[in-house]
A and B are shown apart, each in its own frame.
Chain A
Amino acid sequence: DAGVIQSPRHEVTEMGQEVTLRCKPISGHDYLFWYRQTMMRGLELLIYFNNNVPIDDSGMPEDRFSAKMPNASFSTLKIQPSEPRDSAVYFCASNDRGSSTDTQYFGPGTRLTVL
Chain B
Amino acid sequence: RKEVEQDPGPFNVPEGATVAFNCTYSNSASQSFFWYRQDCRKEPKLLMSVYSSGNEDGRFTAQLNRASQYISLLIRDSKLSDSATYLCVVNAPSGNTGKLIFGQGTTLQVKP
Q: B-contacting residues of A (Cβ < 8 Å)?
A: 31, 33, 42-43, 45, 48, 50, 55-56, 91, 95, 97, 101-109, 111
Closest residue to B44 on the A side, CB-wise?
A: A106
8 A Cβ contacts from B63-112 to A: 87, 91, 97-105
Which of B42, B49, B87, B99 touches A103 (beta carbons < 8 Å)?
B49
Interface of A is mostly: strand
Which of B49, B87, B91, B97 touches A56 (beta carbons < 8 Å)?
B97
Q: A-contacting residues of B (Cβ < 8 Å)?
A: 32, 34, 41-46, 49, 87, 91, 97-105
**Contacting pair A103 B97 (CB below 8 A):** no
Closest residue to A109 on the B side, CB-wise?
A: B43
Closest residue to A92 on the B side, CB-wise?
A: B43
Which of B45, B87, B98 touches A43 (beta carbons < 8 Å)?
B87
- With a CB–CB cut-off of 8 A, which chain A residues contact B100? 45, 102, 104
**Contacting pair A43 B97 (CB below 8 A):** no
